[in-house]
A and B are shown apart, each in its own frame.
Chain A
Amino acid sequence: MAFQILLNIVLAFVYMFLKVSASPVTFLVGYFFGLLVIFIFRRFFQSRFYLLRIVAVINLFFLFIKELILSNIAVLRVILKPKLDIRPGIFALPTELKEDWEITVLANLITLTPGTLVIDVSDDNKILYVHAMDLADAEEAINSIKQTFEKAIMEVSK
């Protein structure tokens, strides 16, 4: 992916040299044409067309913001409820992600989701230990959320 971006920048510079102009607008126009060229030649690269991955990263970012707001509302409800009827606990969550950065992003996302907090990652990077604020009603819902997170992260790294 980094190679494709670098190639795109180089193509933009070639365009600037062809136009004999050093203005940022020329660079942007050249970048756009370079994007087109890379899109046409996408089957010669090992990885995907890099714009798709950038879209996936932006998706992940919006998921992050959405979960942050939702989790705040959930925590607010627990704190402001007059009766303290939460049932906290720690559960194990097996993960399929391999790379270190993927697991870090997943752990950060889980920490920001409603009522969950990562406590430990097992030594072989296969299980995350998550402290949940309200275990009773949450576990199923949380597992489905994790599936969407894992999927979104895999979408970035595939």
Chain B
Amino acid sequence: MNVNAIADLFIAFFIIIGAFLSLVTAFGVIRLPDVYTRNHAASKSATLGVMSILIGTFLYFYLIEGHFNSRIILGIAFILVTSPVAGHLISRAAYNSGVELWEKSVQDDLKLSKQTAKKES
């Protein structure tokens, strides 16, 4: 097995894993019951999925074509930093505009604190 074959294997691994994770994210967004659990699927699997596709792309251009593209690395870093923040903001906005949790949810500490805050004010 020469170096190129090993490189191919790595690239294929990253791209297939990324595509698979994105597919599972889509399944999760359809299947899960409420906004918050859907957000779990969307904010985690999509992050790693897109990141590994980008890593595969970077490795392809670097190992096969010999071209070091630093923009891809910057893109990976930006996705890693921004997507959990986006997930947090979407679920926070959903909570504050009164979207109900799934009826099988067992606990809601935030509701309690919001009610006491309202009483005090």
A139 — nearest CB in chain B belongs to which residue? B107
When the two chains form their complex, are residues B107 and A89 in contact, meaning their CB atoms are under 8 A apart? yes
CB distance from A109 to the nearest CB of B (A): 8
Contact partner of B95 (CB less than 8 A), chosen from A108, A120, A135, is: A120
Task: Tell me which residues across on chain B come within 8 A of A18, comparing CB atoms.
Answer: none
Q: Given known contacts A69-B48, A90-B110, A129-B110, is B92 in contact with A120 (CB within 8 Å)?
A: yes
The interface residues of chain B lying within 8 Å CB-to-CB of A120 are 92, 95, 110
* Chain B residue contacts of A111, Cβ below 8 A: 43, 84, 87-88
Tell me the count of chain B residues lying within 8 A, CB to CB, of chain A.
38
**Is there an interface contact between A79 and B28, defined as CB atoms closer than 8 Å?**
yes
| Nearest CB in chain A to that of B110: its residue | A129
Residue from B32, B37, B47, B48 having most chain A Cβ neighbours under 10 A:
B37
User: Are A79 and B41 touching (Cβ within 8 A)?
Assistant: yes
Asked if A49 is at the interface of the complex by the 8 Å CB criterion, the answer is no
Chain A residues positioned under 8 Å from B37 (CB to CB): 86, 88, 133
B48 lies within 8 A of A133 (CB) = no
Would you list which residues of chain A between 87 and 139 have a CB under 8 Å from chain B? 87-92, 107-108, 111-112, 115, 117-120, 122, 127, 129, 131, 133, 135-136
Contact B43–A131 (Cβ < 8 Å): no
Q: Is the CB of B109 within 8 A of A117?
A: no
A133 to B81, CA, bound (A): 22
**Per a CB cutoff under 8 Å, which of B21, B81, B92 touches A119?**
B92
Residue pair B108, A89 in contact (C-beta under 8 Å): yes
Tell me whether B41 and A75 are in contact (CB under 8 A): yes
Residues of B contacting A72 in the complex (Cβ-Cβ under 8 angstroms): 21, 44-45, 48
B102 at the A/B interface (Cβ < 8 Å)?
Answer: yes
Contact B24 A79 (CB under 8 A): yes
Q: How far is the CA of A19 from the CA of B35 in the complex (A)?
A: 64
With A and B bound together, what is the CA distance between A111 and B110 in angstroms? 17
Bound Cα distance from A145 to B102, whole angstroms: 26
Flag if B92 contacts A89 (CB, 8 Å). Answer: no
Q: In the bound complex, what is the Cα–Cα distance between A88 and B101 (angstroms)?
A: 8
Chain A interface (Cβ within 8 Å of chain B)? 64, 68-69, 71-72, 75-76, 78-80, 84, 86-92, 107-108, 111-112, 115, 117-120, 122, 127, 129, 131, 133, 135-136
26 interchain pairs (CB within 8 A)?
A68-B44, A72-B21, A75-B41, A76-B24, A79-B24, A80-B24, A80-B27, A84-B32, A87-B105, A88-B101, A89-B101, A89-B107, A89-B108, A90-B105, A91-B109, A92-B110, A111-B87, A117-B36, A117-B40, A117-B43, A117-B88, A120-B110, A129-B109, A129-B113, A133-B37, A136-B106
